[in-house]
A and B are shown apart, each in its own frame.
Chain A
Amino acid sequence: MYNKGLVITGIVIFVLFFTSPFLIGLVKSGPPPEPELSPKAKLAKQCVEAKEYMVEYHMQMLDEWRNEAIREGKRIYVATDGKEYTVSLQNTCMDCHSNKSKFCDQCHNYAEVNPYCWECHIEPKEKL
């Protein structure tokens, strides 16, 4: 290969340059924050569904909830374990997860997602 040194340095610089946004992000953002449970949520042990499911699919579930409650008028959710919950972000979810800043906002900020729930729904008052 001709100009071996130059070519390889070139390739390294090229790769570093094009992956720089990811690398900078990795360094800057640090490890993902852990959502904190309020005492009430801790005591309940389980959310409406299993934790793994909630972590991965809470947004789909909330979307489904709002459609079922408002559009279909079905305001009771029967969980897989047979327990019944009132379909309401403001009154059911936030009743347990009353620590919105530590439970919702931390991760949403980290992941740079801006759910517009709180433009209308009243967030619980947190004791600071």
Chain B
Amino acid sequence: MERSRRSFLKILGISTLGLGTLKSVDLLAKVELGEAVYERNPKGLTGKRWALVVDVEKLDEEATQKAIEACHRIHNVPDYGDDEEIKWIWTDKYGHAFPGQEYDYLAAEIEEKPFLLLCNHCSNPPCVRVCPTKATWQREDGIVMMDQHRCIGCRYCMAACPFGARSFNWKDPKTTYWNEHEPPNPTYPVRGKGVVEKCNLCAERLAVGEMPACVEAVKDSKAIVFGDLEDPDSEVREILHERFAIRRKPELGTSPNVYYIV
């Protein structure tokens, strides 16, 4: 049979079209769900600008240790005991925590006291500005959050943070630490090698209506108070209205949200 070039191309075109539709019919036949629905826990705490007020006088050394211990236990923070330490919440001297606000003949009590330090969850966080993958970002409630899934370990955020609140996992915590120690909280993950981690203001606890671990640990003395700065009736606003408080390195313009009553 003789066939013209024209009719051959026609048939070719129609067959390609047919084959194409076959493929899409096949796709349509697959199991499909409607738009997935995700919700927030109605018990979760909501705010616009979370803040902590640390009353240094009420927070003695024992309470400080209690707060640190509670945080590290809940978040499975390893304790390497060397210079590769992982810091979520830690202590340092006044002169190191508040450089520029120290002076000679500082009250001995203040000079020697270990100050409880953690991520300031700045309103203007420099770590967020430099993160190339948005692994760290600012949530609507002000928490400077970390998505460990997305961190590529470039450590720009560590260079940007003026408070030393971020730590890099030089070694794999699972093989170098957690194989010897039981992770204290089996409901919370650990971290992998090559990611940066820091305090997340207990976002996972706020989501189910619980207070941050450090606040909870010293709740009897009310030495650390947690609340929403944008809410004029909140406890933190009340305290700040009555007492004078200082913040770490405010001159850098990051607007830290952890206040210290000295």
Contact = CB atoms under 8 A, between A and B. Distances in A.
Interface of A: 49-50, 52-53, 56-57, 61, 64, 66, 68, 70-78, 80, 84, 87, 90-91, 116, 119-122
Given A90-B189, A120-B191, A77 B36 contact: yes
6 contacts: A50-B31, A53-B31, A61-B36, A66-B149, A70-B149, A78-B37
B30 A56 contact: yes
A76 B38 contact: yes
B130 interface: no
Contacts of B39: 74, 76, 78, 84
B31 A64 contact: no
Interface of B: 30-31, 33-34, 36-41, 44, 76, 137, 139, 145, 147-149, 172, 174, 183, 186-193, 203, 207-208
A89 to B, nearest CB: 9
Contacts of B149: 66, 70
Contacts of A52: 31
Nearest to B139: A73
A94 to B, nearest CB: 10
B183 A122 contact: yes
A68 B174 contact: no
Contact of A120 (B33, B38, B139, B189): B189
Contact of B192 (A56, A75, A120): A120
B207 to A, nearest CB: 5
B191 A78 contact: no
B147 A71 contact: yes
